[in-house]
Structure formats: structure tokens, C-alpha cells
């Protein structure tokens, strides 16, 4: 009957929405554990900030339309892989790759795709490391693999991307050429800053290693 159909649809929809919420919780826990473990063991924290979101229904529908998908949950689930999104900011580029490796090594995570817009920036200057992963979530009567997009960036990359995003929408996607060029220049500046910070960071680490060797000598170990 109609009533039964409505009820079934409602259950499907609720399951659909909460599965992304659960997947984000799983990923957030993993990141939090990595962050804490790193702090305890290495006395250093590669993760500055983590932010996650479930894509809004409007935004999902826009993407369905844009990609010319059938309007059903199965098609959406399989083809829109950033419904659950996590953005991680790190201090240094080396942290990004370190963190990405640690995520990819985890046995319950399947890496579907790794897009390196740091080695290959987008033409507009956008840089970030994107991982599309699948993570299992365990519910009362089933197990499901859920896609999650993890974007890993430095603070400078994030600063650039959020300004670019704002400008893109402010000009309703028709950004004047001069501003596009300015953004590209800013992306180059951000890249130079990242490289400079990385090299200073490395220098400090070398110094730290030397001085801890001295500590050991002092301790006569
Ligand atoms: P929102 O509002 O952040 O959710 P896809 O369309 O995702 O299947 P694509 O284009 O290959 O395929 O994905 P890509 O390049 O990995 O980009 C996905 C997300 O990365 C975007 O999500 C943005 O969050 C971010 N991103 C990519 N390119 C840019 C860019 O040039 N500038 C900024 N500021 N962010 C970018 P959405 O869904 O487009 O947007």
C-alpha cells in the first residue's frame, strides 16, 4: 500500500542520512587518535584543525543534476563521493603526506582515489591532497561501506581556498580576469610560504636532534 511504501522510503532516507553521519564519526575518531598518539609519542602534533560536514540536500541535488544522475539513493550513494567530507589542516606539507600515509595504512579503510593537487595544482592555483576512502559502519542489522572525502591542506592552502571560494560565489562564478590572476599570484605566494616554513621546520628539527644527542651525552647514556 501507499502507507507501507511511504514508511519504507522514510526508513531508507533516514538510513541514508545517518550513514554519512556515522562514517564521519568513525573518521573523526581515527584522526583524533592519530593526533593524540602523535602528541604522546613524538611530542609533536601534525594536525592543526579538523572540520567535517555532511553535504546539504540542496548541494547533493545540484550535483545530481550537474552529473546527470538518476534521482535515486543507490545512484547518489555510488556516484557522489563527497557527501561526507572531512577537512584537515596541517602546519607543514610533510605533515600532509605523513598523515595521508597513516590514514591509507589503516586496515578498515579502502582508498578509492588519491588526488594530489599539491604536486599538480589546479589551473586556478588550488592546492590540497584529496583522499576518497570507503569506511565500514556497523548498524543493527547490516554493515555498509561509506564514501568519505578527506581534504588535507596546510594552513596557507586553506586560507587561499576559502578566499577563492568566497570570491567565486561573490562574482557568481564569473570572476574578472585580473582577479583570477591575482588569486593565482596569491597561490604562488602561499606555495612559497609553505616551502619556506618547511625548510625552517627541518632546520629546527636537525638542531633538536643534535641537542638531544648532547642531552644523552650529558646523561652518560
Ligand atoms: P564544496 O562546496 O566544498 O562541497 P567531484 O565533482 O567532486 O566528483 P572533482 O571536481 O574532481 O569531482 O572533485 P575535486 O577536484 O576533488 O574537488 C572536490 C572538492 O574540492 C570541492 O567540493 C571543493 O571543496 C574542493 N575544491 C576543488 N577545487 C577547488 C577550487 O578550485 N577552489 C576551492 N576553493 N575549492 C576547491 P565541491 O563539491 O566543489 O564544493
The number of the ligand 1 atom at minimal distance from the alpha carbon of 124 is 31
82 in contact with ligand 1, CB cutoff 6 A: yes
Nearest Cα to Cα of residue 92 among 43, 35, 46:
46
The pLDDT assigned to 186 comes to 98
pLDDT at 217: 63
Q: What is the DSSP string of 20-72?
A: HHHHHHHHHHHHHHHHHHHHHHHS---EEEEEEEEPPHHHHHHHHHHHT--SS
pLDDT value at position 40? 85
d(CA 124, CA 158): 14
Question: Which atom of ligand 1 lies nearest, measured to the CA of 87?
Answer: 24
Q: Is 160 in the pocket of ligand 1 (CB under 6 A)?
A: no
Whether 161 lines ligand 1, by a CB cut-off of 6 Å, is yes
Structure confidence at residue 207 (pLDDT): 78
Residue of the nearest CA to atom 30 in ligand 1?
126
This complex has an ipTM of 0.92
Q: Which of 114, 161, 164 to mutate to test the pocket of ligand 1 (most atoms within 8 A of CB)?
A: 161
CB distance 83 to 55 below 8 Å: yes
pLDDT of residue 206: 84
Q: Residue 43 has what pLDDT? A: 83
Among protein residues, the one whose CA lies closest to atom 11 of ligand 1: 115
Q: Which pLDDT value is given to residue 218?
A: 60
pLDDT value, residue 212: 66
- Residue 102, SS3 per DSSP: helix
> Rounded distance, CA 149 to CA 19, Å?
14
- Residue of 63, 82, 115, 130 to test ligand 1 pocket, by largest number of atoms within 8 Å of CB: 82
Closest-CA residue, ligand 1 atom 29, reads: 126
- For ligand 1, mutation pick of 165, 169, 175 (most atoms within 8 Å of CB): 165
Query: Measured from the CA of 132, which atom of ligand 1 is nearest?
Result: 16
Give yes or no for residue 208 CB within 6 A of ligand 1: no
pLDDT at position 172, please?
85
- pLDDT per residue rounded down to tens, the chain (221 residues): 899 999 988 988 888 999 999 999 999 999 999 999 988 888 888 999 999 999 999 999 999 999 999 989 999 999 999 999 999 999 999 999 999 999 999 999 999 999 999 999 999 999 999 999 999 999 888 899 999 999 999 999 999 999 999 999 888 888 899 999 999 999 999 999 999 999 999 998 887 777 766 656 665 55
| Domains in the chain, CATH or no CATH each | 2-155 (3.30.460.10)
102 CB burial (10 A radius; 0-12, 13-18, 19+) = middle
Structure confidence at residue 208 (pLDDT)? 75
Taking the CA of residue 160 as reference, the ligand 1 atom at the shortest distance is 34
Output the pTM of the full model: 0.91
Amino acid at each position: 500500500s501507499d502507507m507501507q511504501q511511504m514508511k519504507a522510503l522514510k526508513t531508507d532516507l533516514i538510513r541514508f542520512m545517518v550513514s554519512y553521519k556515522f562514517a564521519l564519526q568513525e573518521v573523526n575518531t581515527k584522526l583524533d587518535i592519530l593526533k593524540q598518539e602523535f602528541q604522546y609519542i613524538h611530542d609533536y602534533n601534525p594536525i592543526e584543525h579538523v572540520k567535517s560536514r555532511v553535504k546539504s540536500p540542496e548541494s547533493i541535488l545540484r550535483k545530481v543534476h550537474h552529473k546527470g544522475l538518476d534521482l535515486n539513493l543507490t545512484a547518489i550513494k555510488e556516484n557522489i563521493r563527497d557527501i561526507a567530507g572531512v577537512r584537515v589542516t596541517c602546519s607543514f606539507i610533510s605533515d600532509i603526506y605523513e598523515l595521508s600515509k597513516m590514514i591509507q595504512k589503516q586496515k578498515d579503510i579502502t582508498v578509492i582515489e588519491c588526488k594530489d593537487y599539491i604536486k599538480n595544482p589546479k589551473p586556478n592555483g588550488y592546492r590540497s591532497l584529496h583522499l576518497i576512502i570507503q569506511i565500514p559502519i556497523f548498524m543493527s542489522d547490516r554493515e555498509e561501506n561509506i564514501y568519505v572525502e578527506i581534504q588535507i591542506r596546510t594552513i596557507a592552502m586553506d586560507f587561499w581556498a576559502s578566499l577563492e571560494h568566497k570570491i567565486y560565489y561573490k562574482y557568481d562564478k564569473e570572476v574578472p580576469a585580473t582577479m583570477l590572476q591575482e588569486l593565482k599570484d596569491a597561490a604562488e605566494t602561499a606555495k612559497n610560504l609553505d616551502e619556506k616554513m618547511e625548510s625552517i621546520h627541518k632546520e629546527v628539527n636537525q638542531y633538536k636532534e643534535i641537542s638531544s644527542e648532547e642531552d644523552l651525552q650529558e646523561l652518560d647514556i
